[in-house]
Amino acid sequence: MTAVTPAITTVPTTLRVWAFGTIVLAVSLVAARPADAQLRVDISGVGATQYPIATADFTGDAKGQAIAEVIRADLTRSGQFQLINAAGANLSTESSIAYDEWRNKGADYLAYGSVTHSGGQYSVSYRLVDSVRKTQLDGVAFTGTEKELRRVSHQIADRIYEKITGVRGVFSTRIAYVLQTGNNYELQIADADGQNPQVMLRSKQSIISPAWSPDGKRLAYVSFEANKPVVYVQTLASGQRVPIANFKGNNSAPAWSPNGQQLAVVLSRDSISQIYTINADGSGLRRIMRSPLIDTEPHYTPDGSSLVFTSDRGGSPHIYKVPVSGGDAQRVTFNGSYNISPAMSPDANNLVYVTRRDGAFRIAIQNMGSGSEQLLTAGPDDESPSFAPNGMQILYSSVQGGRSVLAVTSVDGRVRQTLSALNGKVREPTWGPFTN
Protein backbone atom coordinates (compact mmCIF):
# COMPACT_ATOMS: atom_id res chain seq x y z
CA MET A 1 0.00 0.00 0.00
CA THR A 2 1.54 3.29 -1.13
CA ALA A 3 1.00 6.46 0.83
CA VAL A 4 0.19 9.68 -1.01
CA THR A 5 1.42 13.06 0.24
CA PRO A 6 -0.45 13.80 3.51
CA ALA A 7 -2.96 16.61 3.64
CA ILE A 8 -1.22 17.61 6.87
CA THR A 9 2.37 17.35 6.97
CA THR A 10 5.63 5.15 13.52
CA VAL A 11 10.47 -22.76 29.59
CA PRO A 12 13.75 -21.65 27.73
CA THR A 13 14.39 -23.24 24.35
CA THR A 14 17.94 -24.38 24.92
CA LEU A 15 17.10 -25.96 28.27
CA ARG A 16 14.22 -28.04 26.86
CA VAL A 17 14.34 -31.62 25.71
CA TRP A 18 14.14 -31.55 21.93
CA ALA A 19 12.24 -33.98 19.70
CA PHE A 20 13.44 -35.36 16.37
CA GLY A 21 11.52 -35.99 13.12
CA THR A 22 11.87 -36.30 9.36
CA ILE A 23 10.89 -33.73 6.66
CA VAL A 24 11.04 -29.95 6.26
CA LEU A 25 9.44 -27.62 3.69
CA ALA A 26 10.22 -23.94 3.16
CA VAL A 27 7.50 -21.66 1.80
CA SER A 28 8.07 -18.10 0.56
CA LEU A 29 6.09 -15.14 1.87
CA VAL A 30 4.80 -14.41 -1.60
CA ALA A 31 3.49 -17.94 -2.17
CA ALA A 32 2.59 -18.78 1.41
CA ARG A 33 -0.84 -20.29 1.91
CA PRO A 34 -2.81 -18.75 4.78
CA ALA A 35 -2.83 -20.94 7.88
CA ASP A 36 -6.07 -22.83 8.41
CA ALA A 37 -7.04 -21.28 11.73
CA GLN A 38 -7.67 -17.59 12.22
CA LEU A 39 -7.20 -16.34 15.77
CA ARG A 40 -9.92 -15.04 18.08
CA VAL A 41 -9.09 -11.97 20.16
CA ASP A 42 -10.36 -11.59 23.73
CA ILE A 43 -9.56 -8.35 25.58
CA SER A 44 -9.75 -7.51 29.28
CA GLY A 45 -8.87 -4.39 31.25
CA VAL A 46 -8.40 -0.75 30.30
CA GLY A 47 -5.46 1.63 30.36
CA ALA A 48 -4.85 4.22 33.03
CA THR A 49 -5.87 6.87 30.49
CA GLN A 50 -8.57 6.36 27.87
CA TYR A 51 -9.10 8.74 24.96
CA PRO A 52 -12.72 9.08 23.75
CA ILE A 53 -12.80 8.66 19.97
CA ALA A 54 -15.49 8.08 17.36
CA THR A 55 -14.49 6.25 14.17
CA ALA A 56 -17.06 6.50 11.41
CA ASP A 57 -17.45 3.96 8.60
CA PHE A 58 -15.49 5.13 5.58
CA THR A 59 -17.80 6.24 2.78
CA GLY A 60 -17.77 5.76 -0.98
CA ASP A 61 -17.30 1.98 -1.24
CA ALA A 62 -18.51 -1.17 0.55
CA LYS A 63 -14.93 -1.78 1.78
CA GLY A 64 -15.19 1.35 3.92
CA GLN A 65 -17.04 -0.41 6.72
CA ALA A 66 -14.41 -3.18 6.97
CA ILE A 67 -11.62 -0.59 7.08
CA ALA A 68 -13.28 1.24 9.96
CA GLU A 69 -13.90 -2.04 11.81
CA VAL A 70 -10.19 -2.94 11.69
CA ILE A 71 -9.26 0.52 12.97
CA ARG A 72 -11.78 0.30 15.82
CA ALA A 73 -10.56 -3.19 16.75
CA ASP A 74 -6.93 -1.99 16.83
CA LEU A 75 -7.71 0.96 19.07
CA THR A 76 -9.83 -1.22 21.36
CA ARG A 77 -7.06 -3.81 21.76
CA SER A 78 -4.68 -1.15 23.03
CA GLY A 79 -6.97 -0.50 26.01
CA GLN A 80 -6.20 3.21 25.66
CA PHE A 81 -9.28 4.33 23.73
CA GLN A 82 -12.95 4.61 24.61
CA LEU A 83 -14.97 4.09 21.44
CA ILE A 84 -17.88 6.49 20.96
CA ASN A 85 -20.75 5.33 18.77
CA ALA A 86 -20.49 6.84 15.28
CA ALA A 87 -23.37 4.86 13.72
CA GLY A 88 -25.20 6.76 11.01
CA ALA A 89 -22.41 9.24 10.37
CA ASN A 90 -21.92 9.81 6.66
CA LEU A 91 -18.67 11.74 6.43
CA SER A 92 -16.28 12.04 3.52
CA THR A 93 -12.89 13.72 3.68
CA GLU A 94 -14.55 16.81 2.22
CA SER A 95 -17.28 17.00 4.88
CA SER A 96 -17.64 19.94 7.22
CA ILE A 97 -17.37 18.69 10.81
CA ALA A 98 -19.85 19.72 13.49
CA TYR A 99 -17.27 19.76 16.30
CA ASP A 100 -19.70 20.73 19.08
CA GLU A 101 -22.07 17.91 18.13
CA TRP A 102 -19.32 15.29 18.40
CA ARG A 103 -18.02 16.83 21.62
CA ASN A 104 -21.53 16.61 23.09
CA LYS A 105 -21.59 12.91 22.17
CA GLY A 106 -18.47 12.49 24.31
CA ALA A 107 -15.97 12.16 21.45
CA ASP A 108 -12.82 14.24 21.98
CA TYR A 109 -11.55 12.88 18.66
CA LEU A 110 -13.17 11.82 15.39
CA ALA A 111 -11.67 9.65 12.64
CA TYR A 112 -13.39 9.32 9.28
CA GLY A 113 -12.59 8.86 5.63
CA SER A 114 -13.57 7.69 2.19
CA VAL A 115 -12.72 4.92 -0.28
CA THR A 116 -12.74 4.98 -4.08
CA HIS A 117 -12.14 2.05 -6.42
CA SER A 118 -10.92 2.08 -10.01
CA GLY A 119 -9.28 -0.58 -12.18
CA GLY A 120 -8.27 -2.89 -9.33
CA GLN A 121 -6.79 -0.05 -7.30
CA TYR A 122 -8.27 1.48 -4.16
CA SER A 123 -7.67 4.96 -2.83
CA VAL A 124 -8.26 5.38 0.91
CA SER A 125 -8.28 8.86 2.43
CA TYR A 126 -8.69 9.57 6.13
CA ARG A 127 -8.88 12.49 8.52
CA LEU A 128 -8.45 12.79 12.29
CA VAL A 129 -9.86 15.82 14.08
CA ASP A 130 -9.83 17.11 17.65
CA SER A 131 -13.39 18.12 18.53
CA VAL A 132 -12.26 20.00 21.67
CA ARG A 133 -9.71 22.21 19.91
CA LYS A 134 -11.79 22.14 16.69
CA THR A 135 -8.81 21.36 14.51
CA GLN A 136 -7.59 18.68 12.14
CA LEU A 137 -4.73 16.58 13.52
CA ASP A 138 -3.95 14.35 10.58
CA GLY A 139 -4.89 13.58 7.01
CA VAL A 140 -3.39 11.15 4.52
CA ALA A 141 -4.30 9.07 1.46
CA PHE A 142 -3.15 5.56 0.52
CA THR A 143 -3.43 3.66 -2.74
CA GLY A 144 -3.19 -0.08 -3.31
CA THR A 145 -4.93 -3.33 -4.11
CA GLU A 146 -7.80 -5.01 -2.29
CA LYS A 147 -5.37 -7.37 -0.54
CA GLU A 148 -3.58 -4.37 0.94
CA LEU A 149 -6.66 -2.78 2.51
CA ARG A 150 -6.25 -4.57 5.83
CA ARG A 151 -2.69 -3.37 6.13
CA VAL A 152 -3.63 0.22 5.33
CA SER A 153 -6.32 0.00 8.02
CA HIS A 154 -3.58 -0.92 10.52
CA GLN A 155 -1.44 1.96 9.22
CA ILE A 156 -4.27 4.43 9.77
CA ALA A 157 -4.77 3.06 13.29
CA ASP A 158 -1.03 3.54 13.87
CA ARG A 159 -1.29 7.18 12.82
CA ILE A 160 -4.29 7.78 15.07
CA TYR A 161 -2.51 6.15 18.01
CA GLU A 162 0.63 8.23 17.53
CA LYS A 163 -1.16 11.55 16.94
CA ILE A 164 -3.16 11.15 20.15
CA THR A 165 -0.75 9.38 22.52
CA GLY A 166 2.58 10.61 21.16
CA VAL A 167 3.84 7.01 20.92
CA ARG A 168 4.35 5.18 17.64
CA GLY A 169 1.67 2.56 16.96
CA VAL A 170 2.43 -1.13 16.34
CA PHE A 171 -0.78 -2.28 14.67
CA SER A 172 0.89 -2.70 11.27
CA THR A 173 3.80 -4.75 12.63
CA ARG A 174 3.93 -8.56 12.55
CA ILE A 175 4.54 -11.41 14.93
CA ALA A 176 6.11 -14.84 14.45
CA TYR A 177 5.51 -18.04 16.41
CA VAL A 178 5.61 -21.83 16.15
CA LEU A 179 2.38 -23.82 15.91
CA GLN A 180 2.56 -27.52 16.79
CA THR A 181 -0.28 -29.79 15.72
CA GLY A 182 0.39 -33.39 16.67
CA ASN A 183 3.84 -34.19 15.31
CA ASN A 184 3.73 -31.37 12.76
CA TYR A 185 5.40 -28.00 13.25
CA GLU A 186 4.79 -24.73 11.43
CA LEU A 187 6.69 -21.47 11.65
CA GLN A 188 4.03 -18.82 11.07
CA ILE A 189 3.95 -15.05 10.78
CA ALA A 190 0.81 -12.97 11.28
CA ASP A 191 -0.41 -9.43 11.73
CA ALA A 192 0.08 -8.03 15.23
CA ASP A 193 -3.57 -8.85 16.02
CA GLY A 194 -3.00 -12.50 15.13
CA GLN A 195 -4.96 -12.31 11.90
CA ASN A 196 -3.76 -13.13 8.36
CA PRO A 197 -1.40 -15.96 9.41
CA GLN A 198 1.00 -17.35 6.81
CA VAL A 199 3.22 -20.42 6.98
CA MET A 200 6.94 -19.85 6.46
CA LEU A 201 8.10 -23.38 7.21
CA ARG A 202 6.51 -26.78 7.76
CA SER A 203 8.33 -29.69 9.31
CA LYS A 204 7.95 -33.06 10.96
CA GLN A 205 10.76 -31.98 13.28
CA SER A 206 10.81 -29.38 16.01
CA ILE A 207 11.18 -25.71 15.08
CA ILE A 208 12.14 -23.39 17.93
CA SER A 209 13.52 -19.94 18.76
CA PRO A 210 12.32 -17.71 15.89
CA ALA A 211 13.97 -14.28 15.90
CA TRP A 212 13.26 -11.30 13.61
CA SER A 213 16.05 -9.44 11.87
CA PRO A 214 16.00 -5.70 12.67
CA ASP A 215 14.73 -4.87 9.15
CA GLY A 216 11.90 -7.42 9.40
CA LYS A 217 12.97 -9.16 6.18
CA ARG A 218 14.48 -12.32 7.68
CA LEU A 219 13.84 -14.80 10.46
CA ALA A 220 16.48 -16.81 12.28
CA TYR A 221 15.30 -20.03 13.92
CA VAL A 222 16.41 -23.50 14.99
CA SER A 223 15.34 -26.57 13.01
CA PHE A 224 15.94 -30.23 13.87
CA GLU A 225 15.67 -31.61 10.34
CA ALA A 226 19.30 -32.81 10.45
CA ASN A 227 18.54 -34.82 13.62
CA LYS A 228 20.26 -32.09 15.61
CA PRO A 229 19.52 -28.42 16.27
CA VAL A 230 20.89 -26.13 13.53
CA VAL A 231 20.42 -22.35 13.27
CA TYR A 232 18.99 -21.15 9.95
CA VAL A 233 18.31 -17.69 8.52
CA GLN A 234 15.37 -17.45 6.10
CA THR A 235 14.50 -14.55 3.80
CA LEU A 236 10.74 -14.10 4.00
CA ALA A 237 10.12 -12.68 0.52
CA SER A 238 11.85 -15.52 -1.32
CA GLY A 239 11.75 -18.38 1.18
CA GLN A 240 15.51 -18.85 0.68
CA ARG A 241 17.23 -20.09 3.81
CA VAL A 242 20.77 -20.93 4.81
CA PRO A 243 22.29 -22.67 7.85
CA ILE A 244 24.54 -20.21 9.66
CA ALA A 245 25.42 -22.30 12.74
CA ASN A 246 25.86 -26.03 12.17
CA PHE A 247 28.72 -26.94 14.45
CA LYS A 248 29.35 -30.09 16.45
CA GLY A 249 26.76 -30.51 19.20
CA ASN A 250 23.77 -28.21 19.65
CA ASN A 251 23.30 -24.91 17.84
CA SER A 252 20.51 -22.83 19.32
CA ALA A 253 18.96 -19.57 20.63
CA PRO A 254 19.73 -17.09 17.81
CA ALA A 255 19.41 -13.37 18.58
CA TRP A 256 20.08 -10.56 16.10
CA SER A 257 22.33 -7.61 16.82
CA PRO A 258 20.57 -4.23 16.42
CA ASN A 259 22.46 -3.50 13.19
CA GLY A 260 21.53 -6.88 11.68
CA GLN A 261 25.15 -7.76 10.90
CA GLN A 262 25.64 -10.40 13.60
CA LEU A 263 23.75 -12.89 15.70
CA ALA A 264 24.41 -14.24 19.16
CA VAL A 265 24.00 -18.02 19.28
CA VAL A 266 24.43 -20.76 21.87
CA LEU A 267 26.73 -23.66 20.95
CA SER A 268 27.76 -26.80 22.80
CA ARG A 269 30.73 -27.43 20.50
CA ASP A 270 33.00 -27.32 23.56
CA SER A 271 30.81 -29.76 25.55
CA ILE A 272 28.70 -27.20 27.46
CA SER A 273 26.27 -24.55 26.18
CA GLN A 274 28.11 -21.24 25.79
CA ILE A 275 27.37 -17.95 24.02
CA TYR A 276 29.07 -16.94 20.77
CA THR A 277 28.59 -14.23 18.17
CA ILE A 278 28.62 -15.00 14.45
CA ASN A 279 28.24 -12.88 11.33
CA ALA A 280 24.92 -13.09 9.51
CA ASP A 281 26.62 -15.02 6.68
CA GLY A 282 27.97 -17.66 9.09
CA SER A 283 31.53 -16.34 9.27
CA GLY A 284 33.48 -14.79 12.14
CA LEU A 285 32.52 -17.09 15.02
CA ARG A 286 33.69 -15.69 18.38
CA ARG A 287 33.14 -16.94 21.91
CA ILE A 288 31.96 -14.24 24.34
CA MET A 289 33.19 -15.75 27.63
CA ARG A 290 33.94 -19.01 29.37
CA SER A 291 31.73 -20.42 32.09
CA PRO A 292 31.80 -23.76 33.91
CA LEU A 293 27.99 -23.93 33.71
CA ILE A 294 25.26 -23.31 31.13
CA ASP A 295 24.91 -19.87 29.54
CA THR A 296 21.96 -19.54 27.17
CA GLU A 297 19.14 -17.36 25.76
CA PRO A 298 21.23 -14.31 24.78
CA HIS A 299 19.45 -11.07 23.87
CA TYR A 300 21.18 -7.88 22.70
CA THR A 301 20.69 -4.61 24.54
CA PRO A 302 19.24 -1.91 22.24
CA ASP A 303 22.61 -0.18 21.78
CA GLY A 304 24.24 -3.47 20.78
CA SER A 305 27.01 -3.15 23.36
CA SER A 306 25.92 -5.93 25.72
CA LEU A 307 23.98 -9.17 26.00
CA VAL A 308 21.52 -10.21 28.66
CA PHE A 309 21.30 -13.98 29.06
CA THR A 310 20.23 -16.84 31.30
CA SER A 311 22.76 -18.79 33.37
CA ASP A 312 22.76 -21.23 36.27
CA ARG A 313 26.29 -20.21 37.27
CA GLY A 314 24.92 -18.99 40.62
CA GLY A 315 23.26 -22.33 41.43
CA SER A 316 19.86 -21.57 39.91
CA PRO A 317 18.78 -19.88 36.66
CA HIS A 318 19.02 -16.09 36.72
CA ILE A 319 19.53 -13.24 34.26
CA TYR A 320 23.01 -11.81 33.71
CA LYS A 321 24.54 -9.11 31.53
CA VAL A 322 27.91 -9.13 29.76
CA PRO A 323 29.62 -6.81 27.24
CA VAL A 324 29.61 -8.16 23.68
CA SER A 325 33.36 -7.60 23.70
CA GLY A 326 33.61 -10.08 26.58
CA GLY A 327 34.52 -9.71 30.23
CA ASP A 328 32.83 -10.33 33.54
CA ALA A 329 29.11 -11.00 33.64
CA GLN A 330 26.96 -9.14 36.16
CA ARG A 331 23.86 -10.63 37.70
CA VAL A 332 20.69 -8.63 36.94
CA THR A 333 17.81 -10.47 38.66
CA PHE A 334 17.70 -11.15 42.39
CA ASN A 335 14.00 -11.68 43.11
CA GLY A 336 12.94 -15.31 43.37
CA SER A 337 15.13 -18.30 42.59
CA TYR A 338 14.25 -18.99 38.94
CA ASN A 339 14.36 -16.30 36.21
CA ILE A 340 14.81 -17.12 32.52
CA SER A 341 14.10 -15.93 28.94
CA PRO A 342 15.18 -12.26 29.16
CA ALA A 343 14.26 -9.52 26.67
CA MET A 344 15.13 -5.83 26.90
CA SER A 345 12.70 -3.02 26.13
CA PRO A 346 13.54 -0.81 23.11
CA ASP A 347 14.46 2.10 25.40
CA ALA A 348 16.61 -0.21 27.60
CA ASN A 349 14.71 0.88 30.71
CA ASN A 350 12.98 -2.44 31.41
CA LEU A 351 13.79 -6.14 31.37
CA VAL A 352 11.06 -8.73 30.88
CA TYR A 353 11.52 -12.41 31.74
CA VAL A 354 9.84 -15.59 32.93
CA THR A 355 9.92 -16.17 36.67
CA ARG A 356 8.77 -19.15 38.71
CA ARG A 357 6.82 -18.18 41.80
CA ASP A 358 4.92 -20.67 43.98
CA GLY A 359 5.24 -23.29 41.24
CA ALA A 360 3.74 -21.05 38.51
CA PHE A 361 5.66 -19.66 35.53
CA ARG A 362 4.76 -15.98 35.19
CA ILE A 363 5.88 -12.97 33.16
CA ALA A 364 7.74 -10.34 35.21
CA ILE A 365 9.14 -6.93 34.33
CA GLN A 366 12.03 -5.24 36.13
CA ASN A 367 13.11 -1.62 35.94
CA MET A 368 16.81 -1.57 35.07
CA GLY A 369 17.45 1.59 37.05
CA SER A 370 15.71 0.87 40.33
CA GLY A 371 15.60 -2.93 40.19
CA SER A 372 11.91 -2.88 41.13
CA GLU A 373 9.91 -5.83 39.82
CA GLN A 374 6.26 -6.27 38.82
CA LEU A 375 4.54 -9.58 38.06
CA LEU A 376 2.43 -9.02 34.93
CA THR A 377 0.70 -12.40 34.60
CA ALA A 378 -0.69 -15.07 36.90
CA GLY A 379 0.60 -18.18 35.10
CA PRO A 380 0.58 -21.09 35.56
CA ASP A 381 2.56 -21.65 32.36
CA ASP A 382 3.56 -18.38 30.65
CA GLU A 383 6.62 -18.37 28.37
CA SER A 384 8.74 -16.51 25.83
CA PRO A 385 8.02 -12.79 26.47
CA SER A 386 8.79 -10.35 23.65
CA PHE A 387 8.43 -6.56 23.65
CA ALA A 388 6.43 -4.71 21.01
CA PRO A 389 8.75 -2.40 19.06
CA ASN A 390 7.29 0.65 20.83
CA GLY A 391 7.87 -0.97 24.23
CA MET A 392 4.24 -0.58 25.33
CA GLN A 393 3.14 -4.24 25.19
CA ILE A 394 4.58 -7.70 25.70
CA LEU A 395 3.72 -10.78 23.63
CA TYR A 396 4.02 -14.21 25.25
CA SER A 397 2.68 -17.76 25.06
CA SER A 398 0.38 -19.08 27.75
CA VAL A 399 -1.77 -22.02 28.78
CA GLN A 400 -5.30 -20.87 29.59
CA GLY A 401 -8.16 -23.23 30.30
CA GLY A 402 -5.97 -26.13 29.24
CA ARG A 403 -5.31 -24.56 25.81
CA SER A 404 -2.12 -23.11 24.41
CA VAL A 405 -2.59 -19.50 23.27
CA LEU A 406 -0.79 -16.34 22.27
CA ALA A 407 -1.31 -13.53 24.74
CA VAL A 408 -0.39 -9.85 25.09
CA THR A 409 -0.14 -7.70 28.19
CA SER A 410 0.50 -3.99 28.52
CA VAL A 411 3.74 -3.18 30.34
CA ASP A 412 1.76 -1.96 33.36
CA GLY A 413 -0.29 -5.18 33.43
CA ARG A 414 -3.61 -3.32 33.11
CA VAL A 415 -4.67 -4.57 29.66
CA ARG A 416 -4.47 -8.18 28.44
CA GLN A 417 -5.33 -9.75 25.11
CA THR A 418 -5.67 -13.45 24.36
CA LEU A 419 -5.25 -14.57 20.76
CA SER A 420 -6.81 -18.02 20.84
CA ALA A 421 -5.83 -20.54 18.16
CA LEU A 422 -8.52 -22.99 17.12
CA ASN A 423 -6.17 -25.95 17.50
CA GLY A 424 -2.57 -26.84 18.22
CA LYS A 425 0.07 -25.62 20.64
CA VAL A 426 1.33 -22.08 20.12
CA ARG A 427 4.94 -21.63 21.18
CA GLU A 428 7.78 -19.11 21.26
CA PRO A 429 6.16 -15.95 19.91
CA THR A 430 8.31 -12.97 18.96
CA TRP A 431 7.18 -9.48 17.98
CA GLY A 432 8.61 -8.10 14.74
CA PRO A 433 10.23 -4.68 14.32
CA PHE A 434 8.98 -1.47 12.75
CA THR A 435 9.55 -1.78 9.01
CA ASN A 436 8.78 1.70 7.69
At residue 425 the predicted structure's pLDDT band, cuts being 50, 70 and 90, is very high
Fold of 49-165: Rossmann fold (3.40.50)
Query: What amino acid is encoded at 157 in this protein?
Result: A
Which tens digit of pLDDT belongs to each residue from 64-89?
A: 999 999 999 999 999 999 999 999 89
8-17, 97-106, 169-178: range with lowest mean pLDDT: 8-17
Which tens digit of pLDDT belongs to each residue from 283-296?
A: 999 999 988 889 99
Beta strands in 192-325 (DSSP E): 198-203, 207-212, 218-223, 230-235, 241-245, 251-256, 262-267, 274-279, 286-287, 295-300, 306-311, 318-323
Q: What is the largest CA-CA distance in the chain?
A: 72
Rounded Cα distance between 393 and 80, Å, is 12
Rounded Cα distance between 233 and 210, Å, is 9
Question: How wide is the angle at C-alpha 422 spanned by C-alphas 421 and 425, nearest 5°?
Answer: 55
Average pLDDT, the chain: 89
CATH for the stretch 174-431? 2.120.10.30
Domain ranges of the chain: 49-165, 174-431
pLDDT score, position 44: 66
Rounded Cα distance between 165 and 81, Å, is 10
pLDDT over 90 (residue 318): yes
pLDDT score, position 292: 85
Q: Which residues contact 268 (CB under 8 A, 6 or more apart)?
A: 249, 250, 274
Model pTM score: 0.89
pLDDT score, position 419: 81
**How much is the average pLDDT of 417-428?**
82
Please, what is the angle between helix 149-165 and helix 63-78, to 10°?
40
Which tens digit of pLDDT belongs to each residue from 368-388?
A: 999 999 999 999 999 999 999
DSSP symbol at 58:
P
Rounded Cα distance between 230 and 222, Å, is 5
Rounded Cα distance between 149 and 156, Å, is 11
Residue 277's beta-bridge partner residues? 264, 286
102-116, 153-167, 390-404: range with lowest mean pLDDT: 390-404
Of 68, 40, 31, 38, the closest CA to residue 190 belongs to: 38
With pLDDT > 90 as the criterion, what percentage of the chain qualifies? Answer: 80
pLDDT over 90 (residue 159): yes
φ, ψ dihedrals at 321, nearest 5°: -135, 140
pLDDT score, position 23: 30
Its sign, for the CA torsion 138, 142, 66, 415, is: negative
HEC profile for 270-284? Answer: CCCCEEEEEECCCCC
**How much is the average pLDDT of 295-305?**
97
Which tens digit of pLDDT belongs to each residue from 254-278?
A: 999 999 999 999 999 988 999 999 9
pLDDT score, position 40: 53
State the first-to-last Cα distance of the chain, in angstroms, to the nearest integer. 12
At residue 401 the predicted structure's pLDDT band, cuts being 50, 70 and 90, is confident
At residue 19 the predicted structure's pLDDT band, cuts being 50, 70 and 90, is very low
**How much is the average pLDDT of 355-359?**
96
Range of 29-33, 172-176, 420-424 with top mean pLDDT: 172-176
Which tens digit of pLDDT belongs to each residue from 204-236?
A: 999 999 999 999 999 999 999 999 999 999 999
